[in-house]
Amino acid sequence: MPEDQIISAEAFQNQYDYEDNERLSEDELATLQAELTEAREELVSIRDFIRFSVTQLRNYDVVVAQGTTDEFAEAAAIVLHSLSLEWSADEQILDCRLTTSEKQAVLSLLEQRISDRKPLSYLINLAYFCDLPFYIDERVLIPRSPIAELIRQQFYPYFDANEFAKPLGATVNNQPATFYEHGLEMKQLSQPERILDLCTGSACIAIALATRFVDALVDAVDIDKGALEVAMVNVDHHDLNHQVNVIESDLFAKLPAEHQYELIVTNPPYVDAAIMADLPPEFLYEPEQALAAGQDGLDLVHHILFEAADYLSPEGLLVCEVGDSEWALSQAYPDIQFDWLKFAHGGHGVFAITFDELVEHRELFARYVNAAAAVK
């Protein structure tokens, strides 16, 4: 499933009519069950069931934006997972026939996905991020972030890259693939020795960072105990207890001041009040506290910008995702030229900022933090 294909929350609202899409009516459910019965009797191959699943997902306006915007990828995941096969199965097996019990397994999962509107990752407790598998349940968001591209390339060219980096650029004239230019400043510094993943959730970003920066220590921080329980499951599964440290903290509150990170990555809650009020049914399964961030979506971001300089090394880099709150952030700080990054496979609302820039603008960040504290 190509998790790099990202669609904004605003685009969701323009694409779907959620009020008519929350649950199937009795007539619709009866129609769906009849279609599934027909498929069980007449379809034969893996390819048949993937094609049928694509059609059904589209016919019933199922939102597939949590990890992918591609109905074909989601349909393939439904079918192949039900058959205990890799989601990117070889073309040669697509014409293999299914047994009766296998057909039933595929169609049962498809029916549940359509009728309940529950995201696939919650139904199967599995999601992929940076090509790695993660245990997922409703205590955490389903992994999806364009930051995956930056991790794959080890944040090149800000940091130097080694054999664990995966260039995203195309192969040209039989020459090796090049690094995609996301817009990071060209520095090629030594690779980070200590990395912070703030608001870690499932720890997918922290673990992906650890697999690309194998000599770095990674702190995975979250305020939510339930999310941290999921994070620890994933750290154990990937056998990274020696490298990834899971910490319960409200942003930087419980981090020792002597911790200086060369890289801070954060994908905090950033959905504003208007979008939260009109989310599609699939997104209502996700923990609200991991999405909502006040009227403009920036409640946590202001604090992160204000405090980060105390924990970032002088040559360090902060990378922060704010999604559709990009415009609100630019309006809040019109005098700051944020470095908004570009992505090869879609995505927006991610900026990079250096230690020097954080220090330079700290008084501006303080105004918002102090104003919020005064309101409380």
pLDDT digits (tens, 9 = 90+) for 135-169: 999 999 999 999 999 999 999 999 999 999 999 98
Say if strands 312-321 and 350-354 run parallel, antiparallel, or are unpaired. Answer: antiparallel
Is the pLDDT score of 270 beyond 90? no
**Rounded Cα–Cα distance for residues 149 and 155 (Å):** 8
Q: Which phi and psi angles does 318 have, rounded to 5°? A: -105, 130
Q: What is the pTM of this model?
A: 0.90
CA within 13 Å, CB half, 138: 9
**Rounded Cα–Cα distance for residues 184 and 181 (Å):** 7
- The rounded radius of gyration (Å) of the Cα atoms in the chain is 22
Asked whether the beta carbons of 369 and 345 are under 8 A apart, the reply is: no
| 220-254 pLDDT per residue, tens | 999 999 999 999 999 999 999 999 999 999 999 99
Q: Residue 350 has which token pair?
A: 């991610």
Q: What is the 3-state secondary structure (H, E, C) of 240-291?
A: CCCCEEEEECCCCCCCCCCCCEEEEEECCCCECHHHHCCCCHHHHHCCHHHC
